[in-house]
């Protein structure tokens, strides 16, 4: 978590850079307007206005193009977590393909191995998952910018196994004393689960074709094949399960954009 925090702050700083750029262009317009007011001559501002409008028209139309292509990358959160959390090992590959101006086909493929220590249970979940769906970019980019603030949906499916390492008997009347932890080692394999994810994410272009992104996910189980006499406490890709069908997730990605073709942007009127 400490590592993620560090990366998140650096990511925030990166985003704030873009913010300041955006703000610089706005004040220049207002400053010209101010000078108009100071002048208080009715004829002068008319001239200024016409000049401005003609120059902008000739500038914007030919320049703006959108790049289309494939973005591939990796989730840094899962990799860094494996370094400091001895109970966790995981990797996630992410990718998306720009379908239209605002829609992206998106997918994640991953593998996780996590040991969960609960108050009375210790279990290990191992497995592979695949998520696919789309992202909708709701961010209107300025010239040459390719940032994304998106919402999206995913369908996720996981095939995994669970190993019950040890457990405790819950006895509300410990007259005969607390029974020590029972070492088990039962393995439940061939487990499956599927779910729907709602994704909220941001991706920012850091340099050239490299993007960093951050996404938050709210998951809801559709199917959950549980083992007999045990529960799926952790589902790779879905993360920890709760009493209901809901779960949460996040990732922190670094991706590389491979441009395939360009499309001219038609100005909106």
Partner 1 sequence: MKKILVLLLIATFSFSGCEKDDICDANTSTTPRLVIEFYDITTPSLLKKVTKLKVIGDGAPEGIVFGTATDDSKYLTSESTISIPLKTDADTTTYSFILNYGNANPSLVNEDKITFNYTRENLFVSRACGYKTVFSLNATSPYTHTDATIPDLLWIKAISVEKNNIDNEYETHIKIFF
Interface with partner 1 (CB under 8 A): 1, 5, 8, 12, 15-16, 19, 118-121, 167-176, 179, 182, 200, 202, 214, 216, 229-231, 233, 240, 243, 248, 250
Which residue number, 70 or 200, has a Cβ lying nearer to partner 1? 200
Phi, psi angle pair for 65, to nearest 5°: -130, 150
| 16 vs 251: CA distance, rounded Å | 20
CB 225 to partner 1: min, Å:
15
27 versus 174: smaller Cβ distance to partner 1: 174
- Closest to partner 1 by CB, 61 or 182: 182
Query: Which DSSP letter does residue 100 get?
Result: S
Q: How many CA within 13 A on the CB side of residue 193? A: 32
| CB of residue 22 to partner 1, shortest distance in Å | 8
Q: Which residue has the tokens 């997730």?
A: 249
The CB-of-243 to partner 1 minimum distance in angstroms stands at 8
> Of 139 and 261, which has the nearer Cβ to partner 1?
139
Q: Which residues contact 216 (CB under 8 A, 6 or more apart)?
A: 199, 200, 201, 248, 249, 250
Distance of CA 83 to the CA centre of its chain: 21
CB of 30 to partner 1, least distance (A): 19
∠ Cα 20 26 29 (to 5°): 150
Work out the widest C-alpha separation in the chain, in whole angstroms: 99
Q: How far is the CB of 55 from partner 1 (least distance, A)?
A: 28
């Amino acid at each position: 978590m400490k590592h993620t925090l560090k990366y998140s702050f650096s990511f925030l700083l990166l985003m704030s850079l873009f913010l300041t750029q955006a703000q610089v262009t706005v004040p220049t317009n207002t400053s010209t307007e101010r000078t108009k007011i100071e002048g208080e001559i009715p004829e002068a501002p008319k001239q200024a206005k016409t000049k401005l409008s003609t120059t902008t028209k000739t500038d914007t139309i030919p320049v703006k193009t959108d790049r289309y292509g494939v973005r591939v990358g990796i989730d840094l959160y899962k990799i860094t977590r494996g370094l400091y959390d001895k109970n966790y090992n995981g990797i996630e590959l992410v990718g998306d393909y720009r379908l239209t101006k605002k829609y992206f086909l998106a997918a994640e493929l991953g593998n996780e191995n996590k040991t969960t220590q609960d108050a009375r249970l210790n279990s290990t979940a191992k497995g592979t998952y695949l998520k696919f769906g789309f992202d909708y970019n709701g961010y209107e980019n300025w010239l040459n910018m390719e940032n994304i603030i998106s919402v999206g949906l995913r369908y996720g499916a996981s095939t995994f196994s669970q190993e019950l390492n040890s457990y405790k008997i819950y006895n509300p009347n410990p007259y005969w004393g607390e029974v020590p932890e029972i070492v088990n080692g039962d393995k439940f394999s061939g487990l499956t689960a599927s779910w729907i994810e709602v994704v909220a994410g941001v991706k920012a272009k850091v340099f050239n074709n490299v993007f960093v992104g951050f996404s938050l996910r709210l998951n809801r189980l559709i199917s959950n094949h549980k083992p007999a006499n045990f529960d799926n406490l952790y589902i790779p890709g879905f993360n920890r399960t709760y009493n209901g069908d809901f779960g949460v997730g996040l990732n922190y990605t670094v991706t590389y954009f491979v441009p395939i073709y360009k499309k001219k942007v038609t100005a909106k009127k």
